[in-house]
Amino acid sequence: MTKFKLLATAAMGLESIVADEVKALGFETQNENGKVFFEGDEAAIAKANLWLRTADRVKIIAGEFTATTFDELFEQTKALEWEKFLPVDANFPVQGKSVKSKLYSVPDCQAIVKKAIVERLKKAYHRNSFLDESGARFKIEVSILKDKVQLSIDTSGAGLHKRGYRTGQGEAPLKETLAAALVKLTRWSPDRPFVDPFCGSGTIAIEAAMIGQNIAPGYNREFDSEFWPWMKRKVWDDARLEAEEAADYDQPLDITGTDIDHRLIETAKANAMEAGFAELITFKQRQVKDFTATGESGVIVGNPPYGERIGEIEKIEEMISDMGRVFSAYPTWSVYMLSAAENFEELYGQKATKKRKLFNGFIKTDFYQFWGERPKNT
């Protein structure tokens, strides 16, 4: 087994949640510029990909150096032992980004990195002709921040938000990684009721069910690094077996998703079925103003529509007031809403116990938290 410097990438605002998840898997983390680094071997790569719910991707750092000229970028990239990672037939697209750096032309940086790796591999594999790139995929990224170059290889492939259960979606589905982060922020435990009154395609409810039964979010999908020749099949098989054993399918769940749009309820049901929760999550059509629930200390989590047009905003403001009124009948329940409405608390009729800034894609939102009272008999 080899030790790698690994990076779990996170959307803006989710870095500390990703770091907590990496730590919970047993790794020490180092946070730099919103990036979560950790060290691990092949088994760590498999484990992190299978289990991280809130990270975007897991990458191997192939090299780091300073470069202010194209020559420096080329020579230092070529000096890295790419043949340790990439077989002769590797398919290695190169992507890039550059922030506050002398080398600001991203297409040029990508082309130079590509050329340097091609030269390195040709020499290492004694090839004079071109490399046909017909084999496994190794997505390379050249990321430059203040002249510091970081070259990484993506072990995930498709982003980790692709869990493999989404059959359809509404207009503004929440990314699975953000939905999982919202559930984690509520500190919900599976013995408590859970309701998403704006469930849309069911993302939050499905992520809650996976958390509730300790199901690895990546269990039903593939990752690029599974197909790398030096990555032993057994490493992934063992990680999947371990995930299967850790799943608690007997954990009862009381999770409900409701939405005003009955077509989305059908989509949510299809997604839940795909995720293996057809019988475990209740989805039904209902307007938030008709909210009812049973049980104590439940958790209500959702992202109500934000609204962009004037008529829509009025309707949404009325809906937030309705919410405040109907939820006040459940004093032991906690309410968590992700909203872009800056006057949310005013409309809701209560000051939030806590707020947390989060980005939903590029939309700046707050996660408004209204904590419930302790039930009288505890």
Ligand X SMILES: C[S@@+](CC[C@H](N)C(=O)[O-])C[C@H]1O[C@@H](n2cnc3c(N)ncnc32)[C@H](O)[C@@H]1O
Binders of ligand X among residues 282 to 341 (CB under 6 A) are: 287-288, 303-305, 319
Residue selected from 174, 209, 211, 216 as contacting ligand X according to rule CB under 6 A: 174
Residue 271 contacts ligand X per CB under 6 A: no
Checking DSSP bridges between strand 194-196 and strand 255-259, what pairing results, if any?
Answer: parallel
Binders of ligand X among residues 274 to 293 (CB under 6 A) are: 287-288
Task: Report the nearest approach of ligand X to the CB of residue 207 (Å).
Answer: 9
Backbone angle region of 297, left / alpha / beta, with phi > 0 → left and psi within -120 to 50 → alpha: left
Distance CA 301, CA 368 (A): 10
Residue 260 contacts ligand X per CB under 6 A: yes
Torsion of the alpha carbons at 92, 84, 88 and 60, rounded to the nearest 10: -20
Residue 170 contacts ligand X per CB under 6 A: yes
Residue selected from 172, 313, 329, 363 as contacting ligand X according to rule CB under 6 A: 172
Binders of ligand X among residues 200 to 239 (CB under 6 A) are: 200-201, 203-204
Q: Which two tokens stand for residue 82?
A: 């790419």
10 touches 55 (CB < 8 A): yes
Which listed range, 40-48, 172-180, 217-225, 341-349, lies at the site for ligand X (CB under 6 A)?
A: 172-180
Residue selected from 173, 193, 212, 218 as contacting ligand X according to rule CB under 6 A: 173
Torsion of the alpha carbons at 15, 65, 143 and 110, rounded to the nearest 10: -160
Q: Which amino acid is located at 359 in the chain?
A: F
Q: Which amino acid is located at 19 in the chain?
A: A
**Residue count at the site for ligand X (CB under 6 A)?**
21
Distance CA 241, CA 307 (A): 45
- Using DSSP's 3-state secondary structure scheme, residue 98 falls into strand
Whichever of 139 and 161 has its CB closer to ligand X, that residue is: 161
Task: Report the nearest approach of ligand X to the CB of residue 120 (Å).
Answer: 44
Whichever of 154 and 176 has its CB closer to ligand X, that residue is: 176
Whichever of 180 and 264 has its CB closer to ligand X, that residue is: 264
Whichever of 142 and 280 has its CB closer to ligand X, that residue is: 280
104 touches 98 (CB < 8 A): yes
Which listed range, 134-142, 194-202, 344-352, 363-371, lies at the site for ligand X (CB under 6 A)?
A: 194-202
Distance CA 220, CA 274 (A): 10
Q: Which two tokens stand for residue 27?
A: 């790794």
Interface residues with ligand X (CB under 6 A) are 169-170, 172-174, 197-198, 200-201, 203-204, 259-261, 264, 287-288, 303-305, 319
